[in-house]
Chain A
């Protein structure tokens, strides 16, 4: 167990170093003059050079990477080259907003998708199964931005029930404005519920066709008991891993809905940083993303072993 955790931790660190280096290198492929961007086109070349020197942009890439890395390890994330504010507080605020959004979405997606998947998989090929399978295939196929647009057209343009944008103006935190969370959460759900439901369905259908479920049915157990005691536990094993890995995918969805609804979160921050080549912000955000991604993978593995008595850590 300790060895397993240690190996995961090492993998996470290696990934962080590798990705941070890759981001640094990629950002240098097409060099953009950050200092010139800050000062504008009319600044003299002298002042641009001076700022470049001040920001340390005149040093070679490996040196700058090394400086970034050592600072980062000491907890200093640097200053955003686009917004000219320290990265850490910006990142913290944005993460909290996105965390609220993601937590609400996740809390709704999980139970709904699992129930739909189990119900569909209980009778493979039945009418309900075909309905759920087709519905979830279609809802996962519609790109997040398109479902978001359809939602705005229905709830804002047509019914006038909800605000069409989720810009946080008077409220500083996302949880203070629940109405602004509704449509972003719905848009995320439309794409993700279908995906998780399909995984659950496949796993449930496989379990229902197994010998031990047939035995349980044949020995006269009530159907409900067969499902709850015999089928569910095994059927939920695979989806739990999938759901955890799905958080990676959810992060992508969050970028899209935040950008569409103007929600001040982590995803929008990353998009902004990428478009403006704000390397300190990209780097800090990438490190957060890797921690979340590898962390959820770890939780998935731990859950899987906790639920599956056949696997124990060697």
Chain B
């Protein structure tokens, strides 16, 4: 019904310049998608969890009761009025470390996805648009990287180049851009035979112009959905790397790293491992609930 009404309105409206019309349409479609997102309680819950952690990360300097690296109390104390979530194996306040640790993961995960999207997107665009030898070369390389178990790949890369935020972004990019390249390539293969691409070619536009200005904007829908799913997955991976001792160097507050340090204390001081586990789990659940809601909306469109 809503769609019919929309169409009617478009017919009744006075003619507008095409660019302005397109802009209005995008805004309206975005608004409609958001409205539909809130119709799904699950996606709304996901968004709420994400916003909670974003707020925690932004407000960390204001709300954290202690410094994340200060030895604020006695070693391995259970939750109390001074230390709401207890203290860790060195006597640091666990709540403060979780609060500051949210910054680490909320910065790293989207950055890693953005860089992977850039690299994988370019690979896929070139492979799909140029075809031929370049396509073969890029896609066979992608096949080889994708054939190898992801976590082993991360382990080998990070163990070799050393754990640091930059190297985590590098490893994630190395392992996930081939998958993105595959998606982009299949989208490009579909789009490049369309009339507007032929028109651009006849106008004499350069290959890069056609790839970036004509084709890429038309492929962005599925890419946005894929990127959202990927952020959850990368947050999962960053937590895991931290747990394996391949995350950020101590004493940087890092949720996975906190669990790693708490392993041997798990029976004596269970809160040390439990709270960072709850933090990372809730964040990944939130990201995935939101991404799933987004995916469902895109399927309905």
Contact = CB atoms under 8 A, between A and B. Distances in A.
Looking at chain A's contact residues, is the secondary structure mostly helix, strand, loop, or mixed?
A: helix
Looking at chain B's contact residues, is the secondary structure mostly helix, strand, loop, or mixed?
A: helix
Contacts of B151: 251-253, 255-256
A138 B285 CA distance: 6
Interface residues of B, number: 43
A91 to B, nearest CB: 14
B79 to A, nearest CB: 15
Contacts of B292: 137
B175 to A, nearest CB: 11
A265 to B, nearest CB: 13
A285 B155 CA distance: 12
Contacts of B240: 143-145, 252, 256
Given A157-B267, A164-B267, A274-B159, 16 more contacts: A19-B144, A30-B160, A138-B289, A143-B239, A146-B239, A146-B278, A149-B259, A156-B267, A248-B149, A251-B152, A255-B152, A256-B243, A260-B243, A285-B152, A289-B148, A297-B147
Nearest to B286: A141
B98 interface: no
A73 interface: no
A308 B193 CA distance: 31
B78 interface: no
Interface of A: 11, 14-15, 18-19, 23, 26-27, 29-30, 134, 137-138, 140-146, 149-150, 152-153, 156-157, 164, 248-249, 251-253, 255-256, 259-260, 270-271, 274-275, 277, 282, 285-286, 289-290, 293-294, 297
A121 B159 CA distance: 42
Interface of B: 42, 143-144, 147-152, 155-162, 232, 236, 239-240, 243-246, 256, 259, 263, 266-267, 270, 273-274, 277-278, 280-281, 284-285, 287-289, 292
Contacts of A146: 239, 259, 277-278, 280-281
B289 A137 contact: yes
Contacts of A29: 160-161
B288 A286 contact: no
Nearest to A260: B263
A14 B42 CA distance: 45
A98 B181 CA distance: 33
B244 A259 contact: yes
Most chain B CB atoms below 10 A, which of A30, A145, A286? A145
Contacts of B147: 11, 15, 290, 293-294, 297
A95 to B, nearest CB: 14
Contacts of B281: 141-143, 146
Contact of A23 (B150, B156, B267, B280): B156
Contacts of B245: 275
A270 B259 CA distance: 20
B162 A270 contact: no
